[in-house]
Amino acid sequence: MVAVGNDIQEKLISEAEIQEKVKELGKRISGDYGDAENLIVVGILKGAIIFLSDLVREITIPINLDFMAVSSYGTNIHSSGAVRILKDLEVDIEDKHVLIVEDIVDTGLTLKYLLENLKSRSPKSVKTCTLLDKPERRTVGVKVDYNGFNIPDRFVVGYGLDYAERYRNLPYIGVLKPKAYE
């Protein structure tokens, strides 16, 4: 039988480390929004779904869940920064608090686009939460309000993160073996 972990060179962040961090983030978010009404948690498909589903179960205040799916134009490694909406929100966020949940912030282009797009809809506030941040890769400035881990510029997959749509179901964050993408 083929195992999804076979292509992993090194476990970068374990299941236990992730769960501890998710609990901590959930507690912080619940505290910060404690008295706010109408918090809408927006998961960014597809990468964020595993993190999102663990995170919301550590948030103890009432929330609404919604999703967006976006894609960068072109297939270049060097993205143009133009982003296309594949699936938009179903709810109206006007006058609501919004928390965008991402799996990773890399160049920052996706999050920058999302922030600008959602801010134009007159929400009460928009904040951002990501499990992983690769600060070395940043090309545009974006504010990350809740960050799980800063990671080095390595080829990571798992816990929602893919390479060519694979490895999202790996339960930890791993570094891909070069032979898997060469």
Catalogue the active-site residues: 106
Distance, C-alpha 21 to centroid of its chain = 14
Q: Which part of the chain contacts Mn ion (CB under 5 A), choosing from 13-21, 41-49, 88-96, 123-131? A: 41-49
Instruction: Give the H or E element holding residue 123.
Output: none
Q: Which part of the chain contacts Mn ion (CB under 5 A), choosing from 24-32, 43-51, 136-144, 153-161? A: 43-51
Residues in contact with Mg ion, shown as a per-residue x/- string from 122 to 161 under the rule CB under 5 A: ----------------------------------------
Of the two residues 26 and 160, which places its CB atom closer to Mn ion in the complex? Answer: 160
Q: How far apart are CA 112 and CA 66, in angstroms?
A: 19
Torsion sign, CA atoms 142, 77, 102, 119: positive
By CB under 5 A, name the one of 26, 43, 47, 148 that touches Mn ion. 47
Q: Where are the alpha helices (DSSP H) in the chain?
A: 15-32, 49-56, 109-119
Instruction: Give the H or E element holding residue 101.
Output: strand 97-105
Q: Does 162 bind Mg ion (CB under 5 A)?
A: yes
Q: Which residues pair with 84 in a beta bridge?
A: 71
Q: Does 160 bind Mn ion (CB under 5 A)?
A: no
Return residues touching Mg ion (CB under 5 A).
Answer: 162
